[in-house]
Amino acid sequence: MLFSYVKTAVFSHTYPFSTMTSFFQSLVENTPSYIFYTASVILSLALISISHCFYFRLITKLYNLPPGTMGYFPLIGETLTFLKLKEKFTFQRHSKYGRVYKTHIFGSPTVRVCGSDNIRTLMMGDTKILQVFWPPSTQSLVGSHSLAVSSGECHRQHKSLILKTMTPSKLKSHLDHFQTTASEKIESWINSGIIDPVQQCRDMTVRSVIKYFIRNDLSESVIEKLINEITTFEKNLMSIPLNIPGTGFYKSMKARAEICSIIQSVLCQNNKDTKCQAQSKDFLNSLHSMLQENRDGNVEKKIEDSILEIIFAGNLTTTVASFSTLYLLANHPKVLQKLREELNEFGLMSPDGIHYPIVTQDHIPKLNYLQCVFKEILRRLPPVGGVYRKVLKPFQLEGYTIPANWRVVCSIRDQHIGDCTFDNPMTFNPDRWLETADDHSAFDFIPFGAASRRCVGKDFARLSILYTILELARRAQWKMQPSTVKIDFIPAPKPMEEMTATFERYKHE
């Protein structure tokens, strides 16, 4: 009988297949569903684990990989350890392995890099070898025409257009925007007495972005709607890109559509309203006119993506820098006092606490200590933790080979507060910037990135933060409760517990 079955199995083309099909169909139908699915998951994980081990054994033999560990679990790697230790994870590994080490986080084999020469190599690197990398959800939300997603000639041309709308001369002609935004918000904090510093810094920043890049005389109801939609939009920039009702990504895509609808409505209103002040429609209409002059296709789509990218890139980072200003200056009263002394030397303090002199474009370059405080805030608590790249072709770094399809992270935070760049890096000391910095590379301090991917909104953010520091110093006295907190650095610095700030007017004697 057994011989007969084997004979049939060998010489028949249908019977063995139908028998096996019937067998597996019967197995599926007679096995409880939870056992079947559990077994399927276990089998899948086992296959992934085997593939994972085989891949890393093979690639280790082929290449001289950087030192480090990849974790014990497929796909997960060291992700859980990274999320648990946060910034300590990178410090411990840089201390153990050096400036270049490998790990496996968020589903990808990754090499983290610090050291100004290494960062320069990566940021100035060949685009045929390295490619800017963002999660699929971020790419979908900021749009295909955004600078973050584009590359090559397309990136160069679009960046050139946006930079023309934000030249230093144009920004300086609108210094009243930065001074008014900061002073009005800080006055409201003084009048309120007690505020939520994280929420209020965010509100100040998003209002500044809306009024400068969309229109400065929008009604309060439109501003509030935009703030709510922007909040939803930002929450799921890095999420699972499932655009189905109920998911965070779906909510963010819906918020994106609402923001774009308002942008188009404002642009239409600007074109019809001949009485509209030039300043109120400066950026939006300037960009629209340039795109039309260049006869670019998809003008409306490019405008939407440009504004959304500015919201994505500028809002979060400037909010973080504003909070960091409150937090660091509250804990370093001697620095705050020295800053006030400089402002007083230039006649910018208010003896009566009512009349505050206007800070002109001639003042800013002369306020050396203000510039030092600005730099030290961005060094000590850099808003952006790192720059991410995808490896297209294997390349060498410090004698190690970085394989294709791996991720490379140029760690800005590690560079700023690691032991390899600045003396006593954990100490908040603006005076360090008064000293000669001939021994420092241009890639030692990179809060806004570098090379062709440097943030296009750098000058806007710089003026926003400078005026926030300046107006805080001359108008307010404040305390943070609690005075010190643990900072969560993922994805950007924020306190790990709720904080309040108590404000009162500063009276200069």
Helix (H/G/I), strand (E/B), else coil: 79: helix
455 is in an annotated binding site: yes
Dist CA 423 CA 417 (whole Å): 9
Dist CA 223 CA 232 (whole Å): 14
How many C-beta atoms surround the C-beta of residue 440 within 10 A? 14
Residue 132's H or E segment, with its range, is: strand 130-132
Tokens 């505020």 correspond to 195
Backbone angles phi, psi at 418, to 5 degrees: -80, 170
Contacts with 384 (C-beta within 8 Å, 6 or more apart), sequence order: 317, 412, 447, 448, 449, 492
Q: Are 473 and 340 in contact (CB under 8 A)?
A: yes
**Sign of torsion over alpha carbons 169, 219, 198, 250:** negative
How many C-beta atoms surround the C-beta of residue 303 within 10 A? 20
Q: Are 227 and 176 in contact (CB under 8 A)?
A: no
Q: Are 143 and 301 in contact (CB under 8 A)?
A: yes
Contacts with 435 (C-beta within 8 Å, 6 or more apart), sequence order: none
DSSP code of 419? T
Dist CA 234 CA 9 (whole Å): 60
Rg (the chain; Cα; Å) = 28
End-to-end CA distance of the chain: 109
Q: Are 400 and 66 in contact (CB under 8 A)?
A: yes
Indicate the annotated binding residues for heme. 455
Indicate the annotated binding residues. 455
